[in-house]
Structures are given as C-alpha cells and as structure tokens.
Chain A
Amino acid sequence: MSASARILDQFARSNGSAPMRILGASGQLGYGIPTPAFSAGLERHPHLIGCDMGSIDIGPYYLGSGEMATAPASTKRDLKKVLHGALKHKIPLVIGSAGSAGARPHLDQTLALVREIASDDGLGFRMAVLRADVDKNVLKAALKTKGVTPIDDMPALDDQDIDAAANIVGQMGMSAFQRALAAGVDVVIAGRACDTAIFAALPAMTGFPVGLAMHMAKIIECASLCCLPGGRDAILAMLDHEGFELDSMAPQRRATPVSVAAHSLYEQSDPFTVHEPEGRLDLARATYRAIDDRRTRVVGARWEDAREHWVKIEGARKVGERAVLLCGTADPKFIAQHNKLLKEVEIVVRDLVCEDTVEDYVLTWRVYGVQGVRMTPPVAETPPPEVFIMAECIAPTRERAAEVVRTTKQYLLHHGYEGRLSTGGNLAFPFTPPEVSIGPAYRFNIYHLMRTADLVGLFPLEIETL
C-alpha cells in the first residue's frame, strides 16, 4: 500500500477523532536541513513531510534560465534526507516549487536527483509528478476572453509578452496535490505551487477544516521561522478540528503567540487574507494562545471557496546579456564629484563603442557607500572615505556587454577632471580582470492572474514507479 493510501485510510477510519501531525521540514529545500530537528520531528510520528523548494523572491533569472538557485550537491543531500525519512516511516513526502522556480527544467533537474538517489540507495516508491508550466496558447486564449488580470499594477499582458517569455508557470493550489495523493503515491514532486498547498492538501481532503489546514500551512511552510529566535529547523504542527498547535523541533526555538501572529505578516501585503486558487483564507478572527513557553495553539481561521478559479502566473523573458565592472576608490576628490565624473565617462564610452553602430546597451552605476542599496538617497553627513563602484551593462550579446564594460574600465580609470591629483589612475581593482560576464539577464514580464475552468488540465499529473 502506498504511503498516501495508508494515511488516507487511517484518517477515513478515525472519523475525525485523531489529530494530524505534519512536519514542515524545510522552507527552502536545497540549502541544508538541520538533522537534529528533522530527526526529532520524525520521532513524533508525523503523517506527512512537506518541503517548499522555491519562491519568486529570488528574482527572474532562475525562472528565465531554467537553472536552480541551490547547488546540486546540497539539493541532493536534502532530498536524500527527506526521502529516507518519509519512506522509513511510510508517510507521504510532498515537495512544491521544485528546483527554485518550478518550471519544466527545474522540475526535471529535481526529478533527476530523486531518481539518482533511488538508484544509489536502492529505494523503490511511487512518485507523483505535477507540472506547472502554462501553455502559451492556453494563456493567449485566456487573454482573449478577458481571463487575465495584472497583479499590483503590472502592465496589461499581450501576445508579444507571452511569446517572449522563456518559461511561464502557474502556482498550483491544494486541489492538484489532492489529485496526486488520491492516486496512491509515496512521494509528490510538484512544479511551481502555492507554498500552503503542499501542507494543506492532505488535511483538507481528510475532513479537517480547510481554513485551519491552510492557516497551519501558511505558518509551517517556512519551518521554524515563526519562532523566537526564527530559524530553518523543522517544525511540527498538530491539527485537530478546532485548531492547531505549533511545536518547533529545535528546543531553543519558541513558537509564542506573538511570534506566530507576527509571522502572518511575513512576505504578505495583507496579514488578514491569503488568496489561493481554490478560495480565500480569512485570518481576521484568528487567535493565538500559549500552551507553554514554546508551543502555541491557533484557532479561528476561516475559508471561503472561490466561485471561479484564478491562478497566479509568472513568466520571465530574456532582456540581454549582462557584464559588470567591479572597482573601488578612496580618492576624496573623485568621490566628491563622482556623479558628474561617471556621467562624463558614460559619454566618452558611448562615443567610442557607438562610433560605427547604434547605442544598443544600458549602462547602470551603483556606487556603494553613497547609494548602492537604497531606492532613495540616504542623508549623508560626510562623504564616505571609500566607495565601491559597480558598472552594469546589459547589451544584446555577451561580446557587446563585455566590450562596453572593458571600455568603461579603461576610461573611468584614466578620466581627467578638475582638481585631479591621482594621475596614476582613479580606481583600485581587487583583482583582474575586474570585468565579469554574468550571462543572460531576465526580467519578470508576466505576473498576472489567469482564470481557468480546468485546474486539472492546467496542472497535469504523471505517476512514475521507481
């Protein structure tokens, strides 16, 4: 019997009397799962291990390029740990947003690692694979029927954006995971997914109140981040029909009512509402009570089913090739005039590299020590003693971007200006070459909601036996 069938059967027999224990093993699988807390969690006999593996926060590069943000070796180590844990205890392992961004190449790299582990360690199991790639024709059809709407003032979508996107994914909700679990599997690996769905799908399909299951999921998807002090150790949630309890598997991490409540703020623009494809989580009446000094009980979340299904979709397109110049200066005269000098050098460079061709690149300066980080300039009382300068070029080709930053390096180094004393050079290079070709640059060109009447077709399920 598969792990999911066993657990579903167990809860069907219990008639709602038994609580469900869910282990939130990792909020970022691939960056290391602390073993002591994970092992402590397994000793509590959880009914499911869930791991989130991705996010949109890491920027458009990974979605666009198809690369994973985590290193293959550390990703394999984490996968191995959770696979062994789940198979040993005969409980389902559910992983969402595989490979950082959850598109086909990310999911395929993750599956390749899982197959490698199965083969290395002689493991046999049934695996559900849920894909999250949105077919361009499906999205275009939705666009035609006014079934696409921008999120947060994103520009309206058109067919050109759709064609230009390197990868497009939709965030699947709990219904996709429920199809996978209902198919009788030991492991579920999903492409881009709502982080909540990973943890809420099983309890919601076994009759637990969806609002509570979803609220619990929202908290444990970040492992012990809801604790004081927050951390990435595994967390155990115990869910019953009236509420749930949170218990970090790292003894030094305390889930307090305030720390847990404050976690509802994290990475959310509204602390009272979470939108999911299948409905809306309402936290307005949620309350948090201490069980002891390191465990908290939460009640009161409500769930409202959606009348129509809207899926969050994400797409990234290539905008060019990126190269950077890395250098610093400690010269007070240069630092005092840097704004003017950088502009002068920009013009010198443009006149040189565009002598026989068009201005086909964008050069951006970041002057660390002055304003490299903030969106608005900080109020500086005195000029900084040193600054770090990064010139970034995005151009149509790798060669062109390299040409622009190499030329920039030379003319910034030797740029003459009023009052200059340092005629040997304006810059310090920590190493040479100080110019680095980074590779392709991407931007998010799709961040929209798409209406669908076919969640099943959008997130197809495949079953693989290893």
Chain B
Amino acid sequence: MKLQDFAQVVRSKNAGPRRFTLDVIFRDDADYRRAVQSGAFTSKKIAPLYGVAANAVSVINYPLGRAIKIVVPRKIMSGDPGDRDVYGAQQHTPLLELEL
C-alpha cells in the first residue's frame, strides 16, 4: 500500500532555511503502529527520495501525535539561487509513493 492511501496528513515545511521537516500523521493508533512496524520509515529508505546521504536524514517517532517526523537537509538553502521551493511546502511529494 502506498503512503498516500494510508496517512491522514503528509506535509512538508522548512525547519529553518537548511532543513525540510516532513510530518506523516495517521488516523488512529493502529495505523500509526502499522506504519512504524512496516519498516518503511528508515533514513536508508527515505534518503534516496531526496538525493541525500542516509546519515543526514533523521526519523523521529512521535506516538502522542500519531506521527512520524522526518528531517531532511536541503541541498539548496531556502531562497538561494536555484531553489525551487522557498517555503519547502511541496517536498512531501516523494513520500506519497512510499510503499508500506
């Protein structure tokens, strides 16, 4: 199953001008547990979607918010020449296709 058919929220935003922060929020605790246990949310699996090294990506489980947070470095800092997404609000899209 693809993440876009499963999650309640898949969003991205800058966390400062040098990081994207991606939040995946699930409908209920069962969905959250299933996602965590699926093994899909590892830095090794997510890093290639953003063309960065696995050790630069962090994945934080946040059961209180039924959420998984992913932090990815920006290859181009927000607003630098060549940037495509100053706010970083559209960088969730590679995650939508993630297979659970």
Interface residue ranges, A against B (CB under 8 Å): 56-61, 151-154, 257-258, 261-271, 286-288, 319, 362, 364, 366, 372-376, 378-379, 392, 394, 441-444, 447
Contacts and interface: CB of A to CB of B under 8 A. Distances in A.
A265 B23 contact: yes
B86 to A, nearest CB: 4
Interface string B47-85: 001110000001010101111010101111111111011
17 contacts: A57-B13, A58-B86, A60-B78, A153-B73, A264-B64, A264-B65, A265-B23, A265-B67, A269-B19, A270-B60, A362-B82, A374-B84, A374-B94, A379-B97, A392-B81, A443-B79, A444-B77
A59 B73 CA distance: 16
Contact of B79 (A60, A269, A286): A60
B28 to A, nearest CB: 9
Contacts of B21: 265, 267-269
Nearest to A374: B93
Contacts of B14: 56-57, 267
Contact of B25 (A60, A262, A447): A262
B19 A152 contact: yes
A interface, over-half SS: loop
Nearest to A271: B62
Category for how many chain B residues contact A: 35 or more
B93 A378 contact: yes
Contacts of B51: 375-376
Nearest to A61: B79
Contacts, number: 126
Nearest to B62: A271
Given A264-B65, A265-B69, A271-B62, A376 B49 contact: yes
Interface of B: 9, 13-19, 21, 23, 25, 49-51, 58, 60, 62, 64-67, 69, 71, 73-82, 84-88, 90-91, 93-94, 97
A59 B66 contact: no
A374 B90 CA distance: 7
Given A60-B79, A266-B23, A271-B67, 6 more contacts: A56-B16, A257-B64, A269-B71, A271-B65, A444-B17, A444-B80
A443 B81 CA distance: 8
A268 B78 CA distance: 15
A362 B83 CA distance: 13
A374 B85 CA distance: 8
B46 to A, nearest CB: 11
A364 B77 contact: no
A375 B49 CA distance: 9
